[in-house]
Amino acid sequence: MKPMEVTATAHPNIALVKYWGKRDAALKLPAMPSLAVTLDGFVTRTTLRWGARKDRVFLDGVEAAPGAAKRVLDLLDRFDPGRPPCEVESRNDFPTAAGLASSSSAFAALALAAATASGRGLSLEALSVLARTGSGSACRSLHGGFTLWRMGVRPDGSDCHAIPVEAHPDLDLRVLVAVVDEGPKALSSTEGMHRTALSSPCYPAFVESGEPLVRCAAEAIGKGDLLGLLTFMERSTRLMLSAMWCSEPAVRYLKPRSLALIDEIEAARGEGLACGWTLDAGPNVKALCDAPSAEALASRIRRHGVRVHVLGVGGPARVEVPLARP
Ligand code: 2P0
């Protein structure tokens, strides 16, 4: 068989209504629906050699530890159980495993590269299902813009994938990523959400909030109602953080500076900027705002001594077309 090399890119996505807990850990089926925005500016670029000498995985230039490599190779097996040996090289242009959704773009790019290299003509929905089995939130990064991850009802997860959410043309959002700490987190999302689901008395309240908050947030996006969207995003975030904190032992990713930034963003809103905050599985704070507020908000956040990335809404995952040789 002739070796084939494919390169795919994907952007990470940030949840506006959160996923934190599974109803089926092996298939990565969530216990709640979620809604996210894909970010431009940050990108994962993955090259897959389908038909190499042996299986090898490199993440950001370094050979992956056996656990991480297995997660990658297991996904390739799902595309083709009889596949040839493969080499994977994946690079992020932003910090990995720091609560910046790096696994969402990594597994979306890998799934797209694998679909192309294996020659399987898959619908975007089927691709989203397969990306999900690599990392849950990856199913939302195949699309650009806003996406809704449906829970689905089938036990095999074949209807549990992301779908696009149409945004009002006037909704011109910016996402500010304030980097409080870019080191890898001590507790993985997979373990943190498992512990939360098993031990937190606040977890049921968070799970119940998912469906109505997704519906309200999707409506707000369709109407271009930014203030409504910010309200639903902050509510979902607070419910997730409460569920995390009430776990045994507590799941806590926040740092004092994260709280100072929340204060700053709320103060800016009090003074008239259209903005709100969210956090994920890490101490880094993300602020959502309209385009005209972005620079003023970024400079307020920088006063706290943190680096800020000002990002827009990103496009879908893509296969890079190789340049024709002369
Ligand atoms: C989300 N996060 O909705 C939530 C909010 C973090 C906080 O999805 O176990 O890497 O691979 O499905 O997708 C991070 O968890 O976890 C995440 P797995 P994933 O974006």
Residue 280 CA: which ligand 1 atom is closest? 7
> Which tens digit of pLDDT belongs to each residue from 75-93?
999 999 999 999 999 999 8
> Which tens digit of pLDDT belongs to each residue from 225-281?
999 999 999 999 999 999 999 999 999 999 999 999 999 999 999 999 999 999 999
Task: Tell me the CA–centroid distance for residue 58 and ligand 1, in Å.
Answer: 22
**Is the model's pLDDT at 325 over the cut of 70?**
no
Contact 140, 105 (CB under 8 A): no
Longest Cα–Cα distance of the chain, Å, equals 64
Question: Could you give the CA distance from residue 75 to residue 68 in angstroms, rounded to a whole number?
Answer: 11
**Is the model's pLDDT at 170 over the cut of 90?**
yes
In 3D, which of 100, 213, 95, 93 has the Cα closest to residue 148? 213
Whether omega before 249 lies within 30 degrees of 0, making that bond cis, reads: yes
Q: Is the CB of 300 under 6 A from ligand 1?
A: no
- Tell me what pLDDT residue 108 has: 97
Q: Is the CB of 280 under 6 A from ligand 1?
A: yes
Choose one of 189, 196, 213 to mutate for the ligand 1 pocket test, by most ligand atoms within 8 angstroms of C-beta.
Answer: 189
Confidence of residue 326 (pLDDT cuts 50, 70, 90): low
Contact 101, 14 (CB under 8 A): yes
- What type of residue is 245? W
Buried b or exposed e, range 95-116, using 16+ CB within 10 angstroms: bbbbbbbbbbbbbbbbbbbbbb
Q: Is the CB of 234 under 6 A from ligand 1?
A: no
Q: Is the CB of 133 under 6 A from ligand 1?
A: no
Confidence of residue 183 (pLDDT cuts 50, 70, 90): confident
Q: How many CB atoms lie within 10 A of CB 205?
A: 13
Residue with tokens 């704070």: 285
**Which of the 8 DSSP states describes residue 138?**
G
Contact 141, 40 (CB under 8 A): no
Q: Is the CB of 137 under 6 A from ligand 1?
A: yes
**Which of the 8 DSSP states describes residue 248?**
S
**Is the model's pLDDT at 45 over the cut of 60?**
yes
Q: Is the CB of 281 under 6 A from ligand 1?
A: yes
Task: Tell me the CA–centroid distance for residue 59 and ligand 1, in Å.
Answer: 19
Confidence of residue 1 (pLDDT cuts 50, 70, 90): low
Residues 6+ apart with CB under 8 A from 257: 180, 283, 304, 306
Q: Is the CB of 149 under 6 A from ligand 1?
A: no
Percent of the chain scored above 90 by pLDDT?
A: 91
**Is the model's pLDDT at 286 over the cut of 60?**
yes
The continuous run of DSSP H or E covering 148 comes out as strand 146-149
3-state secondary structure of 177: strand
- Tell me what pLDDT residue 274 has: 97
**Is the model's pLDDT at 184 over the cut of 90?**
no
Q: Is the CB of 28 under 6 A from ligand 1?
A: yes
Average pLDDT, the chain: 95
Taking CA atoms only, the protein residue closest to ligand 1 atom 8 is 137
Confidence of residue 185 (pLDDT cuts 50, 70, 90): confident
Contact 46, 106 (CB under 8 A): yes
3-state secondary structure of 59: strand
Q: Is the CB of 253 under 6 A from ligand 1?
A: no
Residues 6+ apart with CB under 8 A from 84: 1, 3, 50, 51, 52
Taking CA atoms only, the protein residue closest to ligand 1 atom 7 is 280
Question: Could you give the CA distance from residue 244 to residue 193 in angstroms, rounded to a whole number?
Answer: 8
Structure tokens at 100: 């910046």
Beta strands in 153-302 (DSSP E): 162-165, 173-179, 275-279, 285-290
Q: Is the CB of 114 under 6 A from ligand 1?
A: no
**Is the model's pLDDT at 300 over the cut of 90?**
yes
Choose one of 11, 14, 17, 19 to mutate for the ligand 1 pocket test, by most ligand atoms within 8 angstroms of C-beta.
Answer: 19
- Tell me what pLDDT residue 176 has: 97
Residue 96 or 60, more confident: 60
CA atoms within 13 A on the CB side of 270: 6
Mean pLDDT computed over 136-146: 96
Residue 175's beta-bridge partner residues? 288, 311
Residue 189 CA: which ligand 1 atom is closest? 15
Question: Could you give the CA distance from residue 242 to residue 110 in angstroms, rounded to a whole number?
Answer: 33
**Is the model's pLDDT at 209 over the cut of 80?**
yes
- Tell me what pLDDT residue 269 has: 98
**Is the model's pLDDT at 99 over the cut of 70?**
no
Residue 137 CA: which ligand 1 atom is closest? 13
Contact 268, 294 (CB under 8 A): no
Confidence of residue 324 (pLDDT cuts 50, 70, 90): low
> Based on the number of CB atoms within 10 Å of its own CB, is 94 exposed (0-12), middle (13-18) or buried (19 or more)?
buried
Q: Is the CB of 19 under 6 A from ligand 1?
A: yes
Mean pLDDT computed over 138-147: 97
What pairing do the DSSP bridges indicate for beta strands 285-290 and 173-179?
antiparallel
Question: Could you give the CA distance from residue 83 to residue 56 in angstroms, rounded to a whole number?
Answer: 14
3-state secondary structure of 308: strand
Residue 279 CA: which ligand 1 atom is closest? 7
